[in-house]
Amino acid sequence: MNFLLTTSLYLFTVNLISCSITTQYYQHLINQRTKEALRYKLPTSNNEFKLGVESENTEGKQVQEMRLVLFAFSEYGEFDFVIVGAGSAGSVLATRLSEIDDFTILLLEAGGEEDDFNQIPALWLYNQFSEKNWGYYSIPQKHSCLGMNNKQCVVPRGKLLGGSSSINGVMYSRGNCKDYDKWYQIGNRGWSCKDVLPYFKKSENSQISGDENYRGKGGFWNIEYPLPDSPLYQNFVNGSLELKQPIVEYNGKNQIGASHLQSNIKHGRRQSLATAFLDNSRHRSNLKVLTKTLVTKVVIDPQSKKATGVEFVTRNKKFHVRATKEVIVSAGAVNTPQLLMLSGVGPKDELSKLEIPVVADLPVGKNLIEHPILGLMVRSDYTPPKIGLNELIQQYLNGFGALTKGANVEGVGYIQTKNDSSEVPTIEILVSIPPHIDSSIFQRQFNYNKNIIDGLLDTIDPQRDIFFYIVLLHQKSRGRIFLNSGSPIDFPNIDFNMLSEQEDVDTLIEGVKYVQKLLKTHAFRKINATLLEVPICTNFKISSKEYMECLIRNLANSGSHPCGTAAMGPNNGNFVVGDTLEVHGVGNLRVVDASIFPSSISGHLNAPTVMVAEKAADLIKKEHKYL
């Protein structure tokens, strides 16, 4: 046997062994983590950050006295910029600011690191039942989530590097051009569509063919189609064409129509903003990242009304750090308003009741916007081929297959249900194609009350059923975030107040009717696609308006797209930050995340949040004479 042949056989054998070890590793990882998610108990407070001591009782048993102890603060030094939150916005902002060698940046994150499991797009739901999720629920609702336990909507929020981009469904959607023109019309200079488009393009490395005027190449954030397509995707395309819906590239010039879903994946793996951005900047000497760290207060000088630093808890110690230029809060639409209010920036009447000294009387926490989402189950004659976990893993490692698809969504449609010429969609349709993950995780995801919706999950066949998710894009109803107490250990109260406006329900009903029309097209009739009846609202005639409203109010949940709680606009008492994202009336304090959105987006929020961070970085560089 010659040398070359011997070497080739050796390398082939090594590769086989390596592949086998990797596959076994992922099999064990997936089996372990999916089981853990089904029994994981979500936290109800930030008790992990309480400072405490261990002591023995008289019987010699160890007990944990969890209490806030008035330890003295240790000084953590000073940085030019202190960024609170390493989620989507914080990861981008820290990376861009650290490009300036003269800047020093401290990035603080309450959660930990990413891992191999959270990078598998299809298993995103399981991450929401782990330490990677804050664990929030809304307060009991009056108009929505009525079929959920205690009438509470789920509020998954990422608690790790990358934030919610590390646990979401990896769907890339910018929204509609006119969404941002509306921001400009409110009074936000520099935030029109033509102003923000360059920042969408800057971040992305698009693998999507389309109009180059709308797509970016060479950015950190990869965008591609998950492959291969299911045959059912073509049914969706053909059915949409029958209904006169054009096939579009929905992140291009025209949004209304049907399209293939675009995902933030690279070779099939999740590309969170931590993976895409922070991995390219953490090695820099001017950037320090602290994980497992809860920021408890922004320190604001009561005389000058300027932010001077933050206080935080990490590893059972309390610290104070100075910010010589700015404190930037990028903690997300739930945690940002909580931190601002704990620091004295918020509604005066609410803060005074909690004996929090008021620094600035601003409508923090108000204007909470959410996308209600309703899932419809459809059964057809189509049965996908069965593929074992071992083969799924091998496909995933080669960058394709079911595990690369977040929520199994392949098709997306943006439709206008009103007779106007606005060219702004009112409803998003997401088509999730079987086979699905085990239906037992759906119970945890949607928080269904089995006493109200008995047998709903039993009707699901994960191997056959198609899920049509109807998303209300522009809800008129508004909610709010407000403090439960003056302690950072307590979770904030989240009141979505979804569907309190009847117009919102009526628009969702139009979305249901659209799906019904879609199922009547030849493309879906030829596979006998039928809407499954659910065991609820049986006192109403099926398909009546009363039935559909009952269905919506019981089953529609939050779309995990909260925003608007520190809204951007003029300093007239109705907004929290100005168009440079600086907090009104407070110096050296800026907010950079989805909480600054003054109005709703015709799509998902991750891409617009990244755009905000990209633009904010340039605003900051320009202000400090580096641009």
Q: Which DSSP state fits 221?
A: E
Inter-residue contact 124 to 481 (CB < 8 Å): no
DSSP readout, 245-286?
Answer: PPB--TTSS--SEEEEPPB-EETTEE--HHHHTGGGTTT-TT
Residues 315, 317, 322, 327: is their CA dihedral positive or negative?
Answer: positive
Tokens of 30: 């997936």
Whether omega before 228 lies within 30 degrees of 0, making that bond cis, reads: yes
By the 8 A CB rule, do 354 and 109 touch?
A: no
Residue 283 designated active-site: no
Q: Are the C-beta atoms of 50 and 293 separated by less than 8 Å? A: no
Choosing from 143, 561, 584, 604, which is the catalytic residue?
A: 561
Q: Which residues pair with 469 in a beta bridge?
A: 375, 430
Q: Closest Cα to residue 439, out of 24, 34, 5? A: 34
- Specify the 3-state DSSP secondary structure of 88: helix
Picking from 43, 52, 45, the residue whose alpha carbon sits closest to that of residue 315 is 52
Q: Using CA atoms, how far apart are residues 192 and 213, in angstroms rounded to an integer?
A: 16
Closest CA to 229 of 380, 408, 430: 408
The span from the CA of 349 to the CA of 341, in Å, is 11
Q: Which of 285, 224, 350, 293 is nearest to 76 (CA)?
A: 293
CA gap 324, 284 in Å, rounded: 20
Cα–Cα dist 184/196, whole Å? 11
Positions marked active-site: 561
